Homo-oligomer: A and B are copies of this chain.
Amino acid sequence: MESEELRNVGLKVTSPRLKILSLLENAKAKHMTAETIYRQLGESGEVIGLATVYRALAQFEAAGLITRHQFEGGQTVFELERGPHHDHIVCVRCGRVEEFYDKVIEDRQREIAENLGFTLSDHALTLYGECSGGTCPAKNG
């Protein structure tokens, strides 16, 4: 139940929060902007203030429920935090986002940070390219 997820992280269980969380869990697109969430909720008759959407997303992120990504050029997208860590590759033509995980890279990152005298706390790796013709609908999906 989503209510528990909220309680577990110390957030009051409210209708807007439940709806946003629920949308994130059931949406077809795994990466959504605040605006998209706002619009999709509106279309389903669940009208929630845009400010509330931003607030809820910020709280969810602080609580570790979701992750925020800032791909180049575009807006900030949010993604439900489930499953193991991964990075992203974005098609510059159609906007499609794929995920991947690579142990070699992960390990190297830690080593590099250490060598430079940093304590690694986070990283952002995003690849940009074009997905192969057949697959690429040349239109966001």
Contact = CB atoms under 8 A, between A and B. Distances in A.
Interface of A: 70, 72, 89, 91-92, 98, 100, 102, 104-105, 108-109, 112-113, 116-132, 135
B127 A112 contact: yes
A124 B123 contact: no
Residue from A98, A119, A129, A130 having most chain B Cβ neighbours under 10 A: A129
Contacts of A135: 117
A121 B130 contact: yes
B118 A122 contact: no
Nearest to A109: B127
Given A116-B89, A118-B91, A126 B124 contact: yes
